[in-house]
Structure 1
Amino acid sequence: MAEEHDHLRETDLAPLVDEYGELELTPADDLFERFVVSIVNQLISTEAARTIRARLFEQFEVTPDAMLTAEADALREVGLSPQKVEYVKNVAAWFEENDVTRERFTEMSDAAVTRELTDIRGVGDWTAKMVLMFGLGREDVFPVEDLAVRRGMEDLFGELTRAEMRTLAEAWSPYRSIATLYVWQHYVDGNSNVDDIVA
Structure 2
Amino acid sequence: MANTALNSTLSQYDADWTWSEARGHFESVDPEFHAVVSRLDDPIDVERRSAFESLARAIIGQQLSTKAAQTIWGRFVALHGLELTAEGVLSFSAEMHRAAGVSGQKHGYLQDLARHYTDNPDMFDAVESADDAAIVSSWTTVKGLGPWTVQMHLMFQLRRPDVFPVDDLGIRRSMERTLGIAKDAPKSVYTKRALQWGPFRTAASRFLWDNLDNQPK
Question: TM-score, structure 2 length as denominator?
Answer: 0.78
Aligned pair 1:15/2:35, yes or no?
Answer: yes
Deviations 1:4-62 (A, max 9, x none): 22112332331333222333655723221111122122233223222222222233242
Q: CA deviation at 1:118?
A: 0.9
Aligned pair 1:179/2:204, yes or no?
Answer: yes
Rounded Cα–Cα distance in structure 2 between residues aligned with 1:186 and 1:109: 29
Give aligned pairs, total: 192
Structure 1 residues 130-169: aligned runs within 5 Å: 130-157=152-179, 158=181, 159=183, 160-169=185-194
Structure 1 contact 35–135 (Cα < 8 Å) conserved: no
Aligned pair 1:71/2:93, yes or no?
Answer: yes
Distance 1:144 1:191, change over 3 A: farther
Q: Which residue of 2 aligns with 1:35?
A: 55
1:106 to 128, 135, 138: 128
Rounded Cα–Cα distance in structure 2 between residues aligned with 1:145 and 1:77: 33
Matched residues, percent identical?
Answer: 30
Structure 1 unaligned blocks of 5 or more:
193-199
Structure 2 contact 55–153 (Cα < 8 Å) conserved: yes
Q: Which residue of 1 aligns with 2:117?
A: 95
Kindly report the root-mean-square deviation, in angstroms, between the aligned alpha carbons of the 2 structures: 2.3
Q: Which residue of 2 aligns with 1:62?
A: 84
Q: Which residue of 1 aligns with 2:20?
A: 2
Rounded Cα–Cα distance in structure 2 between residues aligned with 1:191 and 1:69: 48
Question: TM-score, structure 1 length as denominator?
Answer: 0.84
Q: Which letter maps to 1:13? A: F
Distance 1:103 1:79, change over 3 A: closer
Rounded Cα–Cα distance in structure 1 between residues aligned with 2:189 and 2:72: 34
Rounded Cα–Cα distance in structure 2 between residues aligned with 1:186 and 1:22: 11
Q: CA deviation at 1:101?
A: 7.0
Q: Which letter maps to 2:27? A: R
Q: In structure 2, the residue corresponding to 1:22 is in which secondary structure?
A: coil
Distance 1:15 1:77, change over 3 A: farther
Q: CA deviation at 1:67?
A: 1.3
Q: CA deviation at 1:81?
A: 2.0
Q: Which residue of 1 aligns with 2:64?
A: 44
Q: Which letter maps to 1:121? A: K
Q: CA deviation at 1:103?
A: 5.0
Q: In structure 2, the residue corresponding to 1:62 is in which secondary structure?
A: coil
Q: Which letter maps to 1:45? A: S
Q: Which letter maps to 1:2? A: S
